[in-house]
Structure formats: structure tokens, C-alpha cells
Amino acid sequence: PASSPAGPPSTAHSEALFARARMVTPGGVNSPVRAFKSVGGVPRFIASAHGAYLTDADGTRYIDYIGSWGPMILGHDHPAVRQAIGNALAGGTSFGAPSAREVELAELVTRLTGTDKVRFTSSGTEATMSALRLARGFTGRKFIVKFRGNYHGHADGLLVEAGSGLMTNADGPLGAAAPSSAGVPQEYAGLTLVTEYNDPAALDALMAARGHEIAAVIFEPVVGNAGVLIPTPDFLAALHRVKASGALLIADEVMTGFRLSLNGATGLLGLTPDLSCWGKIIGGGLPVGAYGGRAEIMEFVSPQGPVYQAGTLSGNPLAMAAGLATLSTLEADPDIYARLDTYTARLAAGLKDAAQAAGVSISVNHIGSMLTAFHLEAPHGSVGTYTQAAGSDTAGFAAWFQGLLARGIYWAPSQFESIFVSAAHTDTELAATLDAAHAAYAAGWA
């Protein structure tokens, strides 16, 4: 259904919109990776989305593997979510006063994740930024630790050796020392200590030397923002040891929360963080973030405690309704995660076959419905660290990406991102994707 018959489909409308957009918006986009800078070509302007498909401004349909970068786990325009948003809309769009849906979503999130208390924000960035402020307020310490290539949104102190768009930002210092963005003062970045993901010895050494000064260690429990990196058991054990120093362990589940299980990556991996951050899926495609944890810590948040945090649109009724419908639908379908897992595992195997048939080396990391096909030969079959991931053949990836796009597959437009499978992806989409992957490797590789 999403294949291109004779010749590539027209992109004239996307091109015209991109030209207009560049006149009035930096780079023509409202979030950098959307500009296709690292893969080239015209970013597709999307007109509509249903199920597993996107339709662009020129009327071309694509099988979507971005899912709005994570939120759309049920597929686009899911009937239960649409209905819930419609019901909420009829009652008004924003109150600036508490309402029942905020209580219901907080009850659902705390029950599913085993958290005592949760506070809603309007983005994942706000959630991680606020969780760090809380950790500093609670511990009275000022340093934080993050991992190279992990991305936690764009708060100043977190734009330090960060992943996601920062890994392909041609104007930025790729892989360079902190900070990763202009406009972040070195003094501020200096409060963020960085070490390597999946290196337990390095984390232990850092905590031994500086643990008494560290307010929090923030981490992606499965990394999506350097491409998918899966934590080793030894690294998980080292994360748990962090707590002995009095630093708080903050799991950034903005991407993995409700995606890898109803209790996120931490539930799947048996981690018990002090604080967690959520976003994406808990808003069902509308803008939401959240952070939560044990009552004794969360009670430091205003108005109960001294750590200030607020938001005009926090707990927005439409966003709460979309989140409630999404999480309730996930909870009501006990097999959903197994089905996502099966699709993704078959996709991974098929991609390896497609690359191998064309004599191309790839290494596919996948877990649950997250997957990255790194264009490199990993020494032990899987990519474990940011440094390894950064060695990928990005030009080769870009050629393959364009091959997929021309054949109706909308893959993540960067080597260093996860793709996301949704519950709307079926055998039909899998077969079409693998056909396109074979053809793209056969045709697009010099």
C-alpha cells in the first residue's frame, strides 16, 4: 500500500512549505532532527496520520516508524484516544484550576509504576529539569551525573555531551567535551559530570571520588537517543550502588515509560529509581511530561515543599484525556507488549538478512518496540556504548534512509535515533518494510 510505483513521488508541496517555513522559523522546523539535515533531501510536511501511516502534503503515504518520536504506541488517530479528546474538548480546553482527569491520570500512573506521587508538566524537558531541581533541593547538593550520548531534553544543564539531534548537528561539536550547545555557560555545564554508559567501573570510580557532592545520577534506563543501547547487568548493578552515596537515582523514562512495559524499562529490568520522569506516551500524542517518586522526596515540591515548579497548561484536560485513554487501552490489552516485541524482533531479523544479501554490515539493537540498525560491524554483535555508536557509517545510513523513503517507509532521519513500532503495525506493514529494505540496500549502496 505504501510503495512507489514508477519513479519517486512528487515532493513539490513539501518543498514549497519548507521554503516558506525557512523564511519564518529557524531552519524551517520546530525541532532540529525534523529538518533531515543529517540525511539530506526535503523534509516531508505531514498532512495527516492514521494507524501505521503518515500522508504528506503531496498525498504520498508512508509506513511510519517515528510515531511522533514515541507517543503513538497505539498508532495514529486511535478511536479510543480520539473519542476521549473529543469528550474533553466539549468541556473546555484549559482551566488553570485543578480538574478530575488530573487526579485520575495521576492515580493510574502511580498505580502502574509503583510510584507514590507524580506531578504533571507539559513536556519531557520540563519533567527532567524539574526532577533535577527537586534532587538538588532534597539533597542540598549541586552536582549531577549524566551519561555520554543520553538525551534528557534541552534544559541547559542537560545539554552536556548529549545524544539525539546533538549527535548529528553539523554545526555543533560532535562528541566534543561539554557543553553540546552554544548558549550554555561553561560554569553551568561544569555542574554536570559526564561518564560513559555501560561502563560500571567508570561510574563506580566517579561516585567514589565525588559521590558526596552529587545530587542525582540521571540516565536513560534503555538508551534511545544514541540509537538504542541496552544496559548490561553489571551497569544496572552499578546504577543501584549510586544510592549508597546519598545521590538520587533518576530514571528518565520519557521514551521508555509505558513503551517497554506498563512499568517502563525500570519494571522490565528490575531497577528501583528514587525519581522517574515520563512524557510522550502518557500524553497520548498531546503535550505532557511528568515526574514522580517516593512521597518523602515529592513532598519537597511546591506548594507542599520549598522546590518551586509550575505550569500554565500543566494538567491540561485534553492532554490528560488522551493520556488516560492511551494508558487504559494499554492496560486492557495484556498481549500488546508481546505483539510489539514479536513484530520488532521479526523486523530486526529481516533487516539483517536484507543488509547481508547486499553485503552491507549492520548491527541491530532492539528491545520491545524500539530498534536501531547501526551501520557498522559491532565487535560482539551489538553496540554497547555511545563511542561505538558514533562510529557508524552515517553516509551509508543516509543513502539507505533515502532508499526507504522513496519506497514509502518513513524511518527515523538520523542514525542515532530509535525507531518505534506501534500496535497498528501488522504483517502487511512488516512485509512491505522488508521488501523496501532489501531494495534500498540493493539499489542505494555504492
Which positions touch ligand PLP (CB under 6 A)?
69, 123-125, 128, 151-153, 220, 224-225, 252, 254-255, 279, 289
150 versus 388: smaller Cβ distance to ligand PLP: 150
Nearest distance from C-beta of residue 386 to ligand PLP, angstroms: 14
Measured from each CB, the residue nearest to ligand PLP is: 124
Q: Residue 249 is inside which H or E element, if any?
A: strand 248-252
Residues 355, 376: Cα–Cα separation, whole Å: 11
Q: Which helix or strand (DSSP H or E) is residue 112 part of?
A: helix 100-113
Q: How far is the CB of 83 from ligand PLP (least distance, A)?
A: 24
| Closer residue to ligand PLP in complex, CB, 147/441 | 147
φ, ψ for residue 58, nearest 5 deg: -95, 5
CB nearer ligand PLP, residue 287 or residue 391: 287
- Residues 54 and 45 sit within 8 Å (Cβ to Cβ): no
The residue (of 161 and 252) whose beta carbon lies closer to ligand PLP is: 252
Residue 134 CA, chain-centre distance (Å), reads 22
Instruction: Report, in Å, the least distance between residue 158 CB and ligand PLP.
Output: 8
In whole angstroms, how close is the CB of 385 to ligand PLP at the nearest point?
A: 17
Q: Which has the closest alpha carbon to 223: 305, 115, 323, 149? A: 149
**Does residue 151 carry a catalytic annotation?**
yes
Bridge-based pairing state of the strands 46-50 and 53-56: antiparallel
Minimum CB separation of residue 51 from ligand PLP in Å reads 23
Which of the residues 65, 151, 291, 386 is marked catalytic? 151
Please pick, among 58, 64, 199, 252, the residue that the annotation labels catalytic. Answer: 252
**β-strand pairing of 192-195 with 143-147:** parallel
Say how many residues make up the chain.
Answer: 446
Secondary structure (3-state) at 383: coil
Q: Are 134 and 307 in contact (CB under 8 A)?
A: yes
Angle, helices 317-332 vs 100-113, to 10°: value is 40
Q: Which is nearer to ligand PLP, 11 or 344 (CB)?
A: 344
> Residue type for 85, please?
I
* Active-site residue, 252 included: yes
Catalytic site residue 337? no
Q: Which of 280, 337, 386, 441 is catalytic?
A: 280
| Nearest-angstrom CA–CA distance, 343 and 373 | 15
Cβ closer to ligand PLP: 211 or 279? 279
Measured from the CB atom, the residue of 57 and 320 that comes closer to ligand PLP is 320
Helix (H/G/I), strand (E/B), else coil: 145: strand
- Closest listed residue to residue 218, CA positions, set 247, 181, 176, 198: 247
Distance CA 392, CA 353 (A): 19
258 and 224 Cβ atoms separated by less than 8 Å: no
Cβ distance 375 to 361 under 8 Å?
Answer: yes
Cite the active site residues: 151, 252, 280
